[in-house]
Each structure stands twice: as C-alpha cells, then as structure tokens.
Amino acid sequence: MKLETLEACIRDYGRDIYSFCLYLTRSRQEADDLYQDTFLKILEVREQLDFTKNPKSYLLSVAVHIWSNRKRKLAWRQKITGPAISSEEVVTGIPSREKALEDQLITKEEQELVQRAVRKLPEKYRLPIILFYMEGLHLGEIARILEMPQGTVKTRLYRAKGLLQKELEGILDEQKIG
C-alpha cells in the first residue's frame, strides 16, 4: 500500500473510525490514542495490506483488537496494583442546522439517552450494536472483526436490543412520571 492510499483511507474513513473509538473508549483522550494507534498499526503493516475489499471494516477490526489488548493489559495491571481512577467524558452529537431549534433539542436529548443506554451495555453487547447500527456493517463483517460466529453476533445483537429497550422504557417512564 502506498502512502497516498493510506492518506485516502484516513480522509475517507477517519471520522468514522474516530467516532467508533469514542464509543469504545468513552473518553476523548483514550479515543485519540486508539485512533492514532490504529493508523500507526496500519502504517507498520501497510506493505502486506490489500485495501481493495473493505478498508473500513479492516480499520475497525484493527481498532477493536488494539482496544481488546489494552483492556486485557489493564485488567492484569489492576489485579497487581489495584483499580486506577479514570475520568469519562460525555460524548455528544452535533445537531444539524437545518432543523428547527425545538427539533434539534428533542433530537439531541433522544440521542443522548440512546448513547447513555448503549454505554451502559456490557462490552460484549455494546460492540456488535455499535458496529451494526453506527458503522452499518453486515453480520459477516462484524463476525470477522470480533472473531466469532455469525450466530453469536446475531444473539448478542438480539440481547443488546432487549437490554436497550428495557433501559430506554425505564428512562422514558421516569420522565413521564417526573
């Protein structure tokens, strides 16, 4: 792969990859690091890559593997040293300027509710939801990225949807009462 191809990947998929990193890490600082490490890894192995198939899917899988390795290392460190305190940033979307202000506020509120509910999901359910709905990947691609059978991905999506439905129903019920 030439550097021009890598630059094109960053230009075409950089925003999506960064957004995915934000969802994974729940922190801008960690997302910045993960995003940078993802493209550094691509740069390291660029001679062996073939981006003719689906480069976005490959970039997402690299980010998932780097994140999994970091979490595993952190878990070992915490076993040895005890838990570390980390701060989380709230990730919010930017509403489009074309809608009326009231619609923007309602949409932003709904987005924040859904984002919070997704963040509360266990990671094994959160990753397939993000890859399927946010990144628009097919079940086969998600299965390849997460290195699991397609049936497992389907099951996790189904269970995640159920958990999200319960969470969002509970929140909406509280808002109606309050």
What pLDDT, on the 0 to 100 scale, is given for residue 135? 85
What pLDDT, on the 0 to 100 scale, is given for residue 172? 66
The answer to whether 3-81 and 101-177 have equal CATH topology is no
Q: Is the distance from CB of 18 to CB of 31 less than 8 angstroms?
A: yes
Query: Mean pLDDT by 10-residue block, N- to C-terminus, for the chain (178 residues)?
Result: 80 92 89 93 80 83 91 76 46 44 65 85 91 88 93 95 87 62
Domain at 3-81: CATH architecture: Orthogonal Bundle (1.10)
**pTM for this model (two decimals):** 0.65
Q: Is the distance from CB of 21 to CB of 38 less than 8 angstroms?
A: yes
Task: Give the amino acid at 44.
Answer: E
- The token pair at 3 is 């550097």
What pLDDT, on the 0 to 100 scale, is given for residue 96? 40
What pLDDT, on the 0 to 100 scale, is given for residue 48? 74
Residue found under tokens 């593997």: 65
DSSP assignment of the chain equals --HHHHHHHHHHHHHHHHHHHHHHHSSHHHHHHHHHHHHHHHHHTGGG--TTS-HHHHHHHHHHHHHHHHHHHHHHHHHHH-PPP---PPP-PPPPTTS-HHHHHHHHHHHHHHHHHHHHS-HHHHHHHIIIIIS---HHHHHHHHTS-HHHHHHHHHHHHHHHHHHHHHHHHHHHH-
Q: Is the distance from CB of 107 to CB of 95 less than 8 angstroms?
A: yes
What pLDDT, on the 0 to 100 scale, is given for residue 136? 84
Distance between CA atoms of 46 and 178, rounded to whole angstroms? 55
101-177 in CATH: which number? 1.10.10.10
What pLDDT, on the 0 to 100 scale, is given for residue 36? 94
Q: Where are the domains of the chain?
A: 3-81, 101-177
